[in-house]
Amino acid sequence: MTDRNGLPPLASSHSPNDVRNRPVLGDGRKKSMDNFNLRVFIQVLDQGSLSAVAKAFSMRVSGVSMLISRLEAHYGVELIAREGRAIVPTTAGEILYEHAKETIEAEHRLEQEMDFAREVDRGWVRIGAIRRIADGFLPLIVDRFRESHPGVSVRVEVGTSDLLGDMLLTRREEFGCTVAQTDQGLTNTPLYRERLLIVTAPNDPLAARQAVSTQEILRQPFVMAGRRSGLHRRALLEKALGRSGLIVTREVADQEALKEAVRGGLGCGLLPQTLVESDVRDGLLAEIPVDGVSLVEEICLVRRSRGHLSSGAMAFCAEILDSREPALVDREVIDRT
């Protein structure tokens, strides 16, 4: 049986058996629906096709329609309708869609956190690190730790400082080696300070200057990387310049994208010396020295302010804090706590 468009009827089509006329299941106190039903419902609205959803879930179209019918019977209201060949949500469907997505996302976060807890229980240490640390001094420490703690497995996840902050807050990592975080739910233990450089494209007129005034820098367009880290570096630069009003014309996802944007002449950038020193040396970028301005940011061990570290993570943190790798000594090392 098909509708006037040649499509199979939806469970919510008006009929004497309209779901709004069906009795409420049980004693009137509805229990939550199985998350699988919610996943199917989300995909029906996202894809707008029963057959596509049926294929994705290895079901029959009639099975998808039946699951939608169960949801409508459960809530006592129509959730979807047809407009021509399109499947659209009703008002109730829109409400369920938003809450269903939140439910599925919460379930996903719970699974991630439980995976993390199981790994910790089995003797895993999960560490987050920004790229220049993951490729720098951290591998030497990981190798040494594995030799001294053969029963503990180490996993290093690489990400931006913003991503690592989120991963720590959602318990996907025990601790991270990254730029100091500003969230009150995280605690920073400083490792060292790293110099930041203001860089520009080599054909920028400022590239040929021996020194640039703070007023001139404030007139230049800047590109920033990352959500929180971009705001943090902007605040650092404005504090060093002694006034606010930095012109940020573009925001990009990460520092590699920032380097490309600066090389392409889209604006100046503020980047760690270790990340751009080879580009400056090879003439791909140019440093802009600013009168009386020296910029540094702290690289820290970062962990959640509440909760405890596993014994393996505590041992690994101690290994980092007790190490004096050349990569650390070459920079301005600060007191470690």
Burial class, 161, CB count within 10 angstroms (exposed 0-12 / middle 13-18 / buried 19+): buried
CATH number at residue 176: 3.40.190.10
pLDDT at 74 over 50: yes
**Residue 321 belongs to domain spanning:** 111-191+298-333
Instruction: Indicate whether 2 belongs to any domain.
Output: no
Q: For residue 6, what pLDDT is reported? A: 44
Q: What is the pLDDT of residue 114?
A: 72
Same domain, 198 and 285: yes
Decide if 294 contacts 240 (C-beta within 8 A). yes
Same domain? 95 vs 131: no
203 with 173, same domain: the answer is no
pLDDT of 218-271, one tens digit each? 999 999 998 788 888 999 999 998 888 899 999 998 999 999 999 999 999 999
How many whole angstroms from its chain centre is CA 169? 11
Q: Are residues 258 and 279 in the same domain?
A: yes
Tell me how many domains the chain contains. 3
Q: Are residues 130 and 262 part of one domain? A: no
Report the percentage of the chain scoring pLDDT > 90: 55
59: domain CATH number is 1.10.10.10
* CB within 8 Å of 122: residues ≥ 6 apart: 153
Residue 250 and residue 219 share a domain:
yes
Query: Measuring CA to CA, how many Å separate 11 from each of 68, 85, 222, 230?
Result: 7, 15, 55, 49
- Residues 142-152 have pLDDT tens digits of 999 889 888 78
Does the structure show a pLDDT above 90 at 17? no
Q: How confident is the model at residue 117, as a pLDDT?
A: 62
pLDDT of residue 122: 56
What would the pLDDT profile of 256-292 be if each residue is shown by its tens digit? 999 999 999 999 999 999 999 999 999 999 999 998 8
C-alpha to C-alpha distance for 241 and 205, rounded to whole angstroms: 20
Q: Are residues 28 and 98 both part of a single domain?
A: yes
pTM above 0.85, yes or no: no
